Structure 1
Amino acid sequence: MATEIVMPKFGMSMNEGTIAEWLKKEGDDIKKGEPVVTVSSDKITNEVEAPADGQMLKITAAEDETLAVGQVIAYMGEPGEQITESPAAAEETASAAPEPAEAAAEEPAISREINHAPQAESRVRVSPAAKKLASAHGISVETIEGTGPKGRITKKDVEALIETDETEDGASRPQNEPASANPSLDTTQVTAVKGMRKVIADRMQESLQESAQLTLMRKADVTGLLQMQKQANAELEQNGEAKTMTLTAFIAKAAVLALQKHPAANASFQEGMLYRYDHVHLGVAAALTEGLVVPVIFHAEAKSVREIGESIRVLGHGARENQLASEDMHGSTFTITNVGGTGVEYFTPILNTPEAAILGVGAVQDGVQFHEGIPMERKLLPLSLTFDHRALDGEPAGRFLAELTGILENPHRLFF
């Protein structure tokens, strides 16, 4: 009996997932444990492994399609093995993709031959990503031979055709578009937005559309804080500790202390209701190659600078290794995003909704400040606080930012 591959549950809060990319196609031989498809959910993209040895018999879910946890996405088994779909799966397949009457004739369970004859535009099976890529290159989908399930045209089919055109013609460009005098300007890379990138794109757009965002900016003199960080790391090294204290850990602790004194910034705006929190569940943005995730340090108010630093390190490693669960990235009450490593000073971070505020941290800058009329070289840290004006006004937002700056400029306050 064929083995079902189902939409997995990567975390307790995951209810559905989206097919990001099929790594195998129908007819491929697969070993147990070999990745067959990537699935995205809540900014997490994970590979789904084959549950057994066998052949990919049938793929029932298309790329970019969202399905409930536990729903069948493919079948694998021995070559020629009959597939018996559960009544629920058969009903879902029928309702999701109704066939014209003339195509309703009984088909064999597995088709080893694909009819590549051109079809009418309304009958062409094509994935959204493939259709978008073909359109960008001026290619009619009717001319493409699909290699996906039931002759479905995939993104790889379009890419193969584009590559062939480039080999034969020397360049690939949309129809009716004149060639540039500079051949290098004719090259266009078009990538379908899906997986983690699509989740981020949707959430960032929703954040800006559904909240009233405003950003306040100011500098903090962190000369003394950097000296404290340097001394702390020197002591750790003397004690044989391999782990060091990052500046982000100190900033995070300062933010937690400031939030406890100004809880108006430790809030969220949800469905017309304003929530203010006594606890601080701190989100710390982590940049990945594919995008951005925000793992959460729960009850950060109960942690020391060093404990917060260790949490940041562990969660950052988990994010880079794709080991975080959905629960690790839900429930934050305030977020910090640090782009100092890129050299950026000030910027306007976008709210991690429904949170009322987010703190942006830039790169430390060399500056000069006057103390009793004497110019002195100082290290200045740019801070950018974006807040939802529906939940927080400018004056209390400014007080929070002033409190945070005061703690950073008097780092002994981190320990009292």
Structure 2
Amino acid sequence: MAVEVVMPKLGMAMKEGTVSIWNKEVGDSVGKGEPIASVNSEKIEIDVESPSEGTVLKITVPEGEGVPPGTVICYIGTPGEDIDATIVEEISEPVKENKAIPIPQSESSVTTKTFPGRVKISPVAKKMAEAAKLDIEKISGTGPGGRITKEDVQEAIKNSRELDTPPRPEPVNIVVQAQPIIESKQIPVSGIRKVIAERMYNSLRNSAQLTMNMKVDVTDLITLQKQTAETVQSRYQNKLTVTDFIARAVVLSLQEHGQMNSAYLDGKIHLHKSVHLGMAVALEKGLVVPVIRDADKCSLIELSGNIKDCAARARQGQISNEEMLGSTFTISNLGAYGIDHFTPILNSPETGILGVGAVNDIPVYKGEKIERRSILPLSLTFDHRVLDGAPAAGFLQTVKKYLEEPITMLI
């Protein structure tokens, strides 16, 4: 008997999942535990493994289509096994009168209509027809039960173009420069990419964002990091990074500058009592922001461990939607990519986000002498509706103070 493979539920808040890509096609053999597809919700993407050994008999959800959790996305069984489930998408208009509607009959072929305004058509074929502005009721379906397939729509588009082609005019002596044909591949915007696109657009549209930059001398911090590395490793089996110290400095600074740890909602400024720190993690499919809850109650070592744990689980696709909600301030680090200053976009409805660049060693005057110092660039984006430039600069100066006097973060 065929086995159903269903859309998994990726977190309690998940309402819809999307098939990103099918690794198998109908007729392909699969082994138990073998990845057959990648699916995603808003900010999580995982591989769906085959629950049993067999053959892919039917794929019921195409790539790029969203369905609720628990929906059957494919069947696995024995070759030649009969599957009764059929994907049918119905396009209908409301019937005003509760009367029986006669079904037109045809002796030569099976019609695709069941009643006026309702047509059997595959999701891909429907999108193609809509893009070409074709009346699907005039397209003959060659699929099972008269269902309109992608090939039927392609043929209808071809015929439509031939009918619309005007008669060839008489040749004239006009030289027209040929335009280059630009080939392109269309990629559906779904899953993580769709959520990021919507949230970033809404963030810029619904807030007054301003970015300021500052350089921080982290020479002493790096020295402290190296001096404590062996002790931290042996005692806590951990390694403190510059990012860990930055996160600690931000948390301490937010406690001193409460307006930065806030949100602008419904015309009011909501000051948060706790610091829930968002740490942006770059994945192949897009950016996710796991949240370190109650970061203000964590020591430097505890904060470092939480950051590494969340980042690792996010990269493995094991973090839930709930663990990426409720941040009050976010840190985004592009230093590993060699970026200096950049303009981070607010993770709405937060008031601030700190962009971290790459540490560079440069010559710096110390009195009359030139010394080699390690300089860290920081970029703070804040919501100007909540606070002005001066208090925002004050917050950034406090972060700078902690980083340039790192021993204060250990006391």
Whether the 8 Å CA contact 1:63–1:127 is kept in 2: the answer is no
C-alpha separation in 2, matches of 1:394 and 1:96:
54
Cα drift, residue 415 of structure 1: 2.3
Name the residue aligned to 2:245: 250
* Structure 2 CA distance for partners of 1:232 and 1:391, relative to 1, 3 Å: same
Whether the 8 Å CA contact 1:367–1:379 is kept in 2: the answer is yes
Aligned match for 1:203, one of 184, 199, 204: 199
Cα drift, residue 222 of structure 1: 1.4
Kindly indicate whether residue 70 of structure 2 is the aligned counterpart of residue 43 of structure 1: no
Cα drift, residue 358 of structure 1: 0.5
Instruction: Write the letter of the residue equivalent to 2:32.
Output: K
Name the residue aligned to 1:103: 112
Shifted more, 52-61 versus 405-414: the winner is: 52-61
Cα drift, residue 126 of structure 1: 6.8
Kindly indicate whether residue 89 of structure 2 is the aligned counterpart of residue 80 of structure 1: no
* Structure 2 CA distance for partners of 1:346 and 1:277, relative to 1, 3 Å: same
Cα drift, residue 218 of structure 1: 0.9
C-alpha separation in 1, matches of 2:363 and 2:388:
31
Whether the 8 Å CA contact 1:336–1:360 is kept in 2: the answer is yes
Whether the 8 Å CA contact 1:36–1:50 is kept in 2: the answer is yes
Cα drift, residue 246 of structure 1: 0.5
C-alpha separation in 1, matches of 2:41 and 2:92:
23
* Structure 2 CA distance for partners of 1:240 and 1:104, relative to 1, 3 Å: same
Whether the 8 Å CA contact 2:113–2:120 is kept in 1: the answer is no
Cα drift, residue 242 of structure 1: 5.8
Whether the 8 Å CA contact 1:75–1:83 is kept in 2: the answer is no
Name the residue aligned to 1:337: 332
Cα drift, residue 337 of structure 1: 0.8
Aligned match for 1:214, one of 210, 215, 224: 210
Shifted more, 271-280 versus 349-358: the winner is: 271-280
Name the residue aligned to 1:17: 17
Q: SS of the residue aligned with 2:361?
A: strand
C-alpha separation in 2, matches of 1:59 and 1:96:
21
**Which string of whole-angstrom CA distances, capped at 9 and with x for unpartnered residues, describes residues 263-307 of structure 1?**
211122344443221111111111223322211111111111122
For residues 7-406 of structure 1, the aligned pairs below 5 Å read 7-78=7-78, 79-83=80-84, 93-95=88-90, 102-104=111-113, 127=124, 153=150, 177-178=179-180, 191-236=187-232, 239=234, 243-406=238-401
C-alpha separation in 2, matches of 1:272 and 1:55:
57
Q: SS of the residue aligned with 1:359?
A: strand
C-alpha separation in 2, matches of 1:177 and 1:194:
33
Q: SS of the residue aligned with 2:9?
A: coil
The TM-score with structure 1 as length reference comes to: 0.74
Shifted more, 65-74 versus 307-316: the winner is: 65-74
Shifted more, 331-340 versus 389-398: the winner is: 389-398
* Structure 2 CA distance for partners of 1:34 and 1:258, relative to 1, 3 Å: same
Cα drift, residue 190 of structure 1: 5.8
Q: SS of the residue aligned with 2:373?
A: strand
Whether the 8 Å CA contact 1:216–1:386 is kept in 2: the answer is yes
Instruction: Write the letter of the residue equivalent to 2:395.
Output: F
Whether the 8 Å CA contact 2:222–2:242 is kept in 1: the answer is yes
Q: Specify every segment of 5 or more residues in structure 1 that has no aligned partner in the other structure, as ranges.
A: 106-121, 136-141, 158-175, 180-185
* Structure 2 CA distance for partners of 1:369 and 1:30, relative to 1, 3 Å: closer
C-alpha separation in 1, matches of 2:228 and 2:25:
54
Cα drift, residue 219 of structure 1: 1.3
The TM-score with structure 2 as length reference comes to: 0.74
C-alpha separation in 2, matches of 1:414 and 1:216:
24
Q: Specify every segment of 5 or more residues in structure 2 that has no aligned partner in the other structure, as ranges.
A: 94-102, 105-110, 133-138, 155-177
Whether the 8 Å CA contact 2:193–2:286 is kept in 1: the answer is yes
Cα drift, residue 192 of structure 1: 4.5
Q: SS of the residue aligned with 2:391?
A: helix
* Structure 2 CA distance for partners of 1:391 and 1:75, relative to 1, 3 Å: farther
Aligned length: 354
* Structure 2 CA distance for partners of 1:331 and 1:256, relative to 1, 3 Å: same
Q: SS of the residue aligned with 1:348?
A: coil
* Structure 2 CA distance for partners of 1:83 and 1:123, relative to 1, 3 Å: closer
**Which string of whole-angstrom CA distances, capped at 9 and with x for unpartnered residues, describes residues 100-157 of structure 1?**
982257xxxxxxxxxxxxxxxx9985749x96xx99xxxxxx9xx99xxx78559xx9
Larger radius of gyration: 2
Shifted more, 227-236 versus 343-352: the winner is: 227-236
Cα drift, residue 97 of structure 1: 8.3
Name the residue aligned to 2:159: none
C-alpha separation in 1, matches of 2:188 and 2:221:
44
C-alpha separation in 1, matches of 2:223 and 2:149:
62
Instruction: Write the letter of the residue equivalent to 1:80.
Output: E
C-alpha separation in 2, matches of 1:396 and 1:269:
16
* Structure 2 CA distance for partners of 1:355 and 1:240, relative to 1, 3 Å: closer
Instruction: Write the letter of the residue equivalent to 2:206.
Output: E
Q: SS of the residue aligned with 1:318?
A: helix
